[in-house]
Structure 1
């Protein structure tokens, strides 16, 4: 019995570690964003990183850098319309260097007073693991208004 137990325990412990196979959502996210923008009649720009953005109002104030502190009013939702987060109309202030990559890049396309939409693939958001209320691999959409560059 002992000679079978040790190999079995080794096999079990080998399989208890982290999953080294990480699903790549790049193609699925791209397709989901393109289907969403088409269905909604949106004309989005695609950056080199894969972030899609729509500038509804460019704004006329200062433009933030990726390291700026900004105040932004937003509503975050999935492509099915389910809202997962939302600020009040006064917005929230934060450093762009401390948020998801899609925001760090996307907010810099707007000037103060500007508004629009960010369509963020999972690799620029919470990746394959997700976070509370956001499943891994999820495309995130944000309606944003850049209130100020602080």
Structure 2
């Protein structure tokens, strides 16, 4: 069941909110979860879903489904992706068949994970809150919480193009 579709404008807002949230975690009153708590959540998801994942030095996990064979993106690339974003309960919170965006303006988990594949590749990213949207709740323009703070996020990404 689809919870909601974020859409490009909200993706941009979420991307821009990362910098403010990560710099102001104490001033916002939210309390980040510990790396150990986040790792336990990610490992539980990996085990429950029989995923063979690799832990990155950043703390996130990934599974390369297809490595691709084209251009390898850098943080300065613009990427075109097809993706689905889920919570650990497998609820889809966002998806797109053709998102084009500068990688450096997306969440840190994507900046780390997407360059692990090449054009045409597919990857699963299991991202802790510290590399996603942090401890603040993310709300839509009506004030409804669309992503709870401290959420571990799972993205299935296909890299369609690198510019």
2:160 equivalent among 127, 147, 150: 147
How far 1:21 sits from its partner (Å)?
6.7
Query: How far has the Cα of 1:18 moved from its partner?
Result: 4.1
Write out per-residue CA displacement over residues 13-46 of structure 1, whole angstroms, 9 at most, x where no aligned residue.
xxxx946673334222110110111111111111
Matches within 5 A, 1:72-87: 72-87=81-96
d(CA) in 2 for partners of 1:71, 1:130: 27
1:134 aligns with 2:147: yes
Q: 1:36: which partner in 2?
A: 45
Aligned residues: 132
Per the normalisation by structure 2, the TM-score is 0.76
Q: What stretches of structure 1 of length at least 5 have no aligned partner? A: 1-16
SS at match of 1:38: helix
Whether 1:95 and 2:102 are equivalent positions in the alignment is: yes
Q: Residue 107 of structure 1: which of 110, 114, 120 is its match?
A: 114
How far apart, CA to CA, are the structure 1 residues paired with 2:53 and 2:84? 18
Tell me if structure 2 keeps the 8 A contact 1:74–1:144.
yes
Tell which structure's C-alpha radius of gyration is larger: 1
Asked if the contact 1:51–1:121 (Cα under 8 Å) also holds between the matched residues in 2, the reply is yes
Q: 1:12 matched to which residue of 2?
A: none
Task: Using the TM superposition, give the Cα deviation of residue 66 of structure 1 relative to its aligned residue in structure 2, in angstroms.
Answer: 1.3
Residue 59 of structure 2 is aligned to residue 58 of structure 1: no
RMSD of Structure 2 on Structure 1 (CA) = 1.6
Q: Normalized against structure 1, the TM-score is what? A: 0.83
1:58–1:115 CA contact under 8 A, matched in 2: yes
CA contact (8 A) 2:28 2:136 kept: no
